[in-house]
């Protein structure tokens, strides 16, 4: 009952994985560029996920558009 995949099916699967990875990288670069331009800063780490983990950038982004007048500086 084992169905063997043809070479073309295997190549199509690899292509889909490659396209997904490229799209993920492109989305990540677009998000990084947006954050950098919005907050007027340069992210130094090449690990975008690590930059977002502690929530500091989210706080900076939220404060930038806050209507309460609270403007905390680090």
Name the residue ranges covered by the structural domains of the chain: 7-64
Q: Cβ distance 61 to 39 under 8 Å? A: yes
CA 58/CA 17 separation, integer angstroms:
30
Q: Cβ distance 57 to 35 under 8 Å? A: yes
Lookup result for tokens 């169905």: 3
CA 52/CA 61 separation, integer angstroms:
12
pLDDT of residue 45: 86
> 15-59: per-residue pLDDT in tens?
999 999 999 999 999 999 999 999 999 998 888 889 999 999 999
- With vertex at residue 34, the alpha carbon angle to CA 28 and CA 40, rounded to the nearest 5 degrees, is 130
DSSP secondary-structure letter at 54?
A: T
Quote the pTM value.
0.68
């Amino acid at each position: 009952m084992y169905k063997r995949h043809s070479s073309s099916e295997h190549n199509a699967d690899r292509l889909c994985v490659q396209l997904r990875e490229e799209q993920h990288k492109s989305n990540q670069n677009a998000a990084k560029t947006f954050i950098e331009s919005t907050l007027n800063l340069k992210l130094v780490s090449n690990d975008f996920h690590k930059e977002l983990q502690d929530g500091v950038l989210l706080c900076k982004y939220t404060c930038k558009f806050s209507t309460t007048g609270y403007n905390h500086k680090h």
